[in-house]
Amino acid sequence: MENQIENVLVFATNIATENDKQKISNILDGNTEIQQWTLDLEDIDRVLRIVSDTLSEEQIIKLLDNKNFNCSALE
């Protein structure tokens, strides 16, 4: 069995409420290239973590930008 290294992308966002989270959940859940995602609304940076072996940071930023949310990659 081959070990796969998960590619975790981490972003700071301006997603502030559960309602905002619901708006993006439809997009993220519907994207077959996203294995898993989490959003920490308690963190000051509203940290979004996405596990994907194929998507780039730029593609995720564009997905959120299309829903009028700010998103920037964290190191």
Q: Is 40 helix (H, G, I), strand (E, B) or coil?
A: strand
Does the pTM surpass 0.85? The reply is yes
From the list 16, 13, 22, the residue with the least C-alpha distance to 41 is 16
The interaxial angle of helices 57-65 and 18-30, nearest 10 deg, is: 130
Share of the chain above pLDDT 90, in %: 89
So what CATH class is 8-73? alpha beta
Q: What is the pLDDT of residue 10?
A: 97
Q: What is the pLDDT of residue 3?
A: 45
Q: How far apart are CA 47 and CA 13, in angstroms?
A: 6
* Mean pLDDT of the residues in the chain: 91
| CA distances, 67 to each of 26, 60, 61 (Å) | 11, 11, 10
- pLDDT lower than 50: segments of the chain: 1-3
**Residues 12, 47: contact at Cβ < 8 Å?**
yes
